[in-house]
Amino acid sequence: MPYHSCVITLLQSLYSHQSWADAAILSAVQSHPESLHDEWLLKTLHHIVMVQRLFLSRFADRPFDAAKESQPPQSFDQLIHLFQATHEEELAFVHGVSEVDLGRRFELPFLKTQPTFAEGLTQVVMHSQNHRGQCLSRLRENGTKPPTLDYILWAKDRPAPLWPKPLPEIRATMPQE
């Protein structure tokens, strides 16, 4: 298999894992009422999905409304929906990436750089993984056992994401900027 084909396959796998891991951490937060009111945790989760959405806009060369995207969702259910929609779009994008696309450059004006798609796609999964790790620590601090999100364990069976279902009786108060 040519090198670039291997990279594409790996990126597709990493994005599938990311979708599963984000769903798992959202489920863990939802199932622990104290965490649903942890401002730091909720802001960090929103940051994760906002950065994923920012990079998607750059890959697609479309505008990103930073003011709108920076506004936290009104509820935890809306945060879940934002993650789901973002992951659907990310996975569709990654599954459409070609070998030529990997070397294409895109603009990141706020960092004054033009990374390749391969670099940008890698940045998204690494950035998200870093913040998920912080969220796992926070869940532990909040007194619950966080899920195990290791890529290698996910890769054994490659389960699909299990997104938490809305629970109307439990409402998180999303921190407002």
Q: Look at residues 152, 159, 125 and name the one whose alpha carbon lies nearest to residue 24.
A: 159
Rg (CA), the chain: 16
Mean pLDDT, the chain, rounded, equals 93
Mean pLDDT of 10-36: 97
pTM: 0.92
pLDDT at 3: 63
> Between the CA of residue 35 and those of 18, 52, 120, 130, 133, what are the distances in Å?
21, 22, 31, 19, 15
- pLDDT-derived band at 79 (thresholds 50, 70, 90) equals very high
